[in-house]
């Protein structure tokens, strides 16, 4: 993370940036070494040719990259000095590796590999020792209490912390996705239930088909069709019961099918429903068919 204001930046941010530059510098220095070796080998084999110029350019580029890292790191190091230093901690990278306050600890070697615990930079040493527990170096932290030294280490490297944060983020995203899916499933179920509440079918579950009103899908249509059919049958009866006998019977049969369907759906008797719908049929008759010529 780039440092905006060096004089107010947190030690952990400054050290994290320093560590980033350190790694970049190490990479650049390795590149310089590898390129120089390649050139030396070529010279030894007597293979000096036009490609040598390109190699020299590459070496120069790697050197400038290393210089740039050092130039960028210098003010950060100066800030550390300006503030009179701050606590820093390193973890030795092997099983049971100890936490040290400096890589110059005399229990370590030049070849020892460390992870710089930059997130603990500037933290209270008591806190660092408490986290380190039995991993706290006795040379670096001689005053660590015995009970703290018996604790299991809870030290994490910045890499481990980043990985845990990523895992937590993934878990949160997964939970959010699951919650969203559950919500959608619930809504779909409710919609289906609402549709089922409105739907109507024959008592055996097959679609409710009528001769004069066609396929009836909803209870609303079923009730309206029922009143239409019976009111119209009454009209036909008044017109000429003998002439319309077949049609009257068909309309009444359709109404009977609807009544059976509603009866099955609600678990009510047909008589009960017939009684409920009779005023509607009567109203329809008075409003419409009775007025027909």
Q: Compute how many residues bind Zn ion; rule: CB under 5 A.
A: 5
Please select the residue that binds Zn ion; options are 25, 59, 136, 140, rule is CB under 5 A: 140
Which residues in the 96-115 window bind Zn ion by CB under 5 A? Answer: 100, 105
Region near Zn ion per CB under 5 A, out of 34-42, 138-146, 149-157, 262-270: 138-146
Nearer to Zn ion, 73 or 137 (CB): 137
Least gap, CB of 105 to Zn ion (angstroms): 3
Binding mask 156-185 for Zn ion (x = CB under 5 A): ------------------------------
Least gap, CB of 100 to Zn ion (angstroms): 4
Nearer to Zn ion, 98 or 223 (CB): 98
Q: Rule CB under 5 A: say whether 137 interacts with Zn ion.
A: yes
Least gap, CB of 22 to Zn ion (angstroms): 20
Least gap, CB of 133 to Zn ion (angstroms): 15
Least gap, CB of 93 to Zn ion (angstroms): 14
CA-based radius of gyration for the chain: 44
Nearer to Zn ion, 128 or 230 (CB): 128
Q: Are 206 and 228 in contact (CB under 8 A)?
A: no
Q: Rule CB under 5 A: say whether 139 interacts with Zn ion.
A: yes
Sequence-distant (≥ 6) Cβ neighbours of residue 271 within 8 angstroms? none
Binding mask 63-102 for Zn ion (x = CB under 5 A): -------------------------------------x--
Q: Which residues of 123-143 are buried (b: 16+ CB within 10 A; e: fewer)?
A: bebeebbebbbebbbeebbee
User: Which among 161, 158, 138 is positioned nearest to 148, based on CA atoms?
Assistant: 138
Least gap, CB of 112 to Zn ion (angstroms): 10
Residues found near Zn ion in the complex (CB under 5 A)? 100, 105, 137, 139-140
């Amino acid at each position: 993370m780039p440092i905006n204001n060096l004089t107010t930046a947190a030690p952990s941010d400054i050290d994290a940036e320093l560590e980033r530059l350190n790694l970049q510098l190490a990479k650049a220095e390795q590149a310089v070494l590898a390129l120089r070796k390649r050139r030396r080998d070529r010279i030894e084999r007597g293979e000096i040719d036009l490609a040598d110029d390109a190699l020299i350019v590459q070496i120069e580029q790697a050197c400038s990259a290393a210089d740039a890292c050092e130039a960028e790191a210098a003010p950060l190091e100066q800030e550390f000095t300006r503030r009179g230093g701050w606590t820093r901690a390193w973890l030795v990278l092997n099983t049971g590796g100890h936490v040290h306050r400096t890589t110059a600890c005399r229990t370590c070697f030049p070849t020892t590999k460390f992870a710089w615990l930059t997130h603990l930079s500037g933290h209270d040493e008591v806190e660092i020792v408490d986290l380190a527990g039995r991993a706290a170096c006795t040379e670096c932290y001689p005053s660590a209490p015995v009970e703290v030294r018996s604790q299991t280490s809870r030290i994490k490297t910045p890499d481990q912390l980043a990985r845990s944060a990523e895992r937590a983020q993934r878990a949160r995203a997964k939970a959010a996705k699951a919650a969203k899916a559950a919500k959608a499933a619930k809504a779909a179920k409710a919609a289906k239930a609402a549709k089922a509440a409105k739907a109507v079918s024959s008592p055996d579950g097959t679609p409710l088909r009528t001769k004069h009103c066609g396929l009836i899908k909803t209870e609303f249509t079923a009730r309206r069709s029922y009143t239409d059919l019976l009111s119209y049958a009454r009209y036909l009866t008044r017109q000429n019961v003998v002439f319309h006998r077949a049609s009257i019977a068909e309309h009444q049969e359709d109404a009977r099918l609807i009544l059976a369907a509603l009866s099955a759906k609600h678990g009510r008797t047909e008589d009960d429903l017939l009684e409920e719908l009779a005023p509607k049929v009567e109203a329809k008759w008075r409003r419409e068919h009775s007025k027909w010529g």
